Chains A and B, each alone.
Chain A
Amino acid sequence: MIKLIRRRILFSIPLLFFVCSTTYFLEALIPGSIAQTILGIDATPQEYAAVNHSLGLDLPFLQRYWNWIFNALHGHLGNSLYNSQPVSLLINQRLEATFSVVICCTLVCLIFGVTFGVISALRGGLMDRLLDGISAIGLAIPPFFLGVVLVQLLALKFHIFPAIGYVSLSHSLSGWFNSMALPVITLSLSGIAVITKQTRDAMRDVLDRPFIRTLKSNGVPLRSVVFKHALRNASIPVVTVVGLVFVGILSGTVLVETVFAIPGLGGLAVSATSTSDIPLIQGIVVYFTLIVIAVNLVVDILYGFLNPRIRNS
């Protein structure tokens, strides 16, 4: 198990390196764009040169790249071009909202997805086709469109939930909960569909395995056969898709946070993109990648926990 985790962490270093480098090279393709973003297009060549010099942009490319990596490793991701605040500060302020949304969504997806999947595996037939239909539609609705429709119905028309905005957890628990409701419903739909399908297939597969017959034939109560043995075995393949579902939800925040005016990473990424705030975008990419790596690690640990063969190897 320890070996597995170590291997995983080692494996994530090239991933981080790959993503950061790609981002950096991509943005270095267009020289002078940073100075232009700061000064606008009407500045004199001298002014451009001064800005480039102060930001170290006149250094050779590899030198710049090395500096960036070196600073990033020390936690310095540079300053925003837009308001010259440190990128890491800007991002850290935004983490709570995004984490709230993403973690709630993942839990909701797991709870509903596994429940529906088990029901569907045991019942089959009509229930199956119903869930198939719902999940096909769930995967086809653009999340932001669903978000707007929900705002219109549940917030503007029936006033059940607040339309937009985020209430910090430290501020008010009920306020936080209410502000989470619509974004979480919006972003969870496709994840629920994915996990339902995976759970159903895994349960079907496990219920056909010989050990289920052994348990039944030796008089183990059916409840235990299904919920203890089958579900435990079926959860192994389900856990592996949770990582993918999480990446999907994280990507979804980019689209949905703006709809609900949630001050999170996704919204920050969009505004940084439209203002071409390159250090900020780079920082967000680093954070996104780190989050995904961390989640994959958690998934791996869970996987090992559920699968004794891997745990003990």
Chain B
Amino acid sequence: MSDVVELQGATEGTDNKNESFMRALMRRPSVVAAIIVLMVLTIASIFAPLLAPFDPKAMDFSTILNYPTSKNWLGTDTMGRDVLSRLLFGGRRSLLSVVEGVSVALTLGVPIGLLAGYLGGWTDRIISRFVEMLLSIPAIILVLVVFSVLPRNENIAMVTFGVLSISTPIRVVRAATLQVTGELYITAARVSGLSHLRIVLRHVLPRVRGPIIVQGTLFCAYALLFEIGIAFLGLTGGTVDPSWGGMIGEGTKVIVQQRWLIYPPGVLSIIVILSFSIIGNTIRDVVVKDETVSQQRNSRLAKKSFSALTPSGSTDDGYLLSVTGLEVKHPTNNGDVTIVDGVTFAIRAGETVGLVGESGCGKSVSALAVLRLLPGALEMTGGGVSFEGQEITGLSDKEFNRLRGSTFAYISQEPQASLDPTFTISSLLCEVIRSHEKLTRAEAKQRAIELLALVELPDPERVARLHAYELSGGMAQRVGIALALAGRPKLLIADEPTTALDVTVQSEILALLRRLQSETGMAILLITHNWGVVSDLCDRTLVMYAGQIVEQSSAQSLFDQPLHPYTQGLLNSLPALSTTHGHLSAISGSVPPPGTWPVGCRFAQRCPHATAACEEGQIPLVSVRTNRESRCMRSDEIFPSEGR
């Protein structure tokens, strides 16, 4: 029973969405104009006998090839017939043809597409092959065959055209159906024993309506273009019955004597075709509309805001990297949303610092902001970054690019996707090597092999010849590390380098990182949500929550005694360390998403120690004990200094 309720809810949801969707469409002037054009045209064509000032077939050889006059508003043609009247009557034929073509293509294409998407398996494979085949047949040539057998039979020609064009509706409907079929309520309906036909008609079809409407509208444009084409070739009605294509054809024949005649039918055709495609494209845009602001705005703003950033004076000497008040925002149509809020930290040469927190706290975004590699529309709106005491926030992109790889390098959490699939490992490595050092191809190749050996890949020569897809996750991550080492960086930023790997491979990669660090003396900023990794590798730990750093401490003292309830919660969720309460306790709730952060303590809602005072105002990050910081106003009360 609950299934049925859920199913009805889903269908109602679609209806509500449709209403707001219509409103969204109507807000766009181009769509309103297009709809008006098509409505006026349809009405004018239907009532052509009433509206046309003259009989479209009435010849008058005394007034041939006239330009527009007060009597013949659009002039006269080669036989003195009124162009306006012929256009009105011609519209009837063209629109009828469009309706024929579209209805044939959709009545055949939609069910076949539904079938392929809903049933899948062999049905789908056979249909897909068939579609592929149809796509490579030029429709017009087969329509010519039809005309050669059944001369001047436009109806049959348009039906043939519709049949030959079913591949597009099939593909679109199939894709949409596949998506819907994967959803839970369809599975529920299947399990509850509804018949397939009923499921498809009641639950799938309403959901794929959008793509069908888009495709149908765009296909109207295509069908009209086609109809005008065959009429232009003189294959349809001859010269007596008016048609837009035929009128363009007539105008073409007399182009040297009279320039005007092709324009009324030609321009009208373009306007109508354009109207169909504007409506279709806009519906599609509204359906797939996403809230993010275009990339252009992003890059423009980014440039502006970079020059507006105030370089912080507190570049602490002795630090390799120091980040001060880093702020990252996501511009949306409803204003900017803060993602990273005033993050400040520093890393010494040779130090390994862990950046810990749940997913969605802004760890990766902070690291990418330092590297100036923020994805999509995100932009750094405040704060400063300096490297070896040198302010680098104000550098131009070109100057900044010189630092990448040689001062800091980066390895990501998706090892395979991080390697360009179209090049061999060797050519990727060589390219990176040669952007840092002036080496010949052969020397670079030699160094590439050395690097692959350095990251403990067995048979480096063989690996060098492979492509990314031929590597396992662990191998790909080793290649990723080799790429990062190619420029001999002083700081390696590793964004969850082991998350995607098997447990045994994880420890190998960590061991490799530890060895490389002791050999090269580079510093590592290690983003992770794995306490094991922290205890394994890190000297110091930063804990992030909801865009802020909430605790900063040496790794060992953090494990001994956390000074923020969030850190404590994170540690308690770890089986090996949850000795405090004797049972495994996870933090209830989840990280509040950006844009919903409270004014006061951001962790208060999930904190077992929260008081009313916690939610009153912003909580600063304060120094507590030796070399430690915590963003908790009650840390002294909650965590007495005796330790555990």
Contact = CB atoms under 8 A, between A and B. Distances in A.
B175 interface: no
A296 B135 CA distance: 11
A202 to B, nearest CB: 13
Given A27-B148, A210-B414, A139 B277 contact: yes
Contacts of B150: 30
B149 interface: yes
A306 B467 CA distance: 13
B417 A211 contact: yes
A246 B299 CA distance: 36
Nearest to B245: A142
Contact of B148 (A222, A254, A258, A273): A273
Given A233-B422, A276-B151, A251 B232 contact: no
A53 interface: no
A17 B146 CA distance: 18
Contacts of A215: 420, 432
Given A14-B133, A218-B405, A251-B140, A270 B148 contact: no
Contact of B136 (A145, A217, A243, A276): A243
Contacts of A272: 144, 148
A278 B148 contact: yes
B412 A210 contact: yes
Contacts of A137: 270, 274
Nearest to A235: B422
Interface residues of B, number: 86
Interface string B233-255: 11100000000010010011001
A250 B138 contact: yes
Contacts of B225: 140, 142
Nearest to B272: A140
Contacts of B296: 123-126, 128
A301 to B, nearest CB: 16
Nearest to B235: A273
B357 interface: no
Interface string B110-134: 0000000000000000000000010
B409 A218 contact: yes
B145 interface: yes
A118 to B, nearest CB: 14
9 contacts: A14-B133, A30-B149, A144-B252, A145-B248, A148-B248, A211-B419, A218-B487, A228-B431, A272-B144
Interface of A: 14-15, 18-19, 22-23, 26-27, 29-30, 33, 123-126, 128, 136-137, 139-142, 144-145, 148-149, 151-152, 156, 204, 208-211, 213-222, 224, 228-229, 232-233, 236, 243-244, 247, 250-251, 254-255, 258-259, 269-270, 272-274, 276-278, 281-282, 284-285, 288-289, 292-293, 296, 306-309, 312
Given A124-B294, A254-B141, 6 more contacts: A137-B270, A140-B277, A148-B255, A247-B136, A254-B144, A289-B137
The 3 closest A-B pairs by CB, nearest first: A219-B405, A125-B296, A217-B410
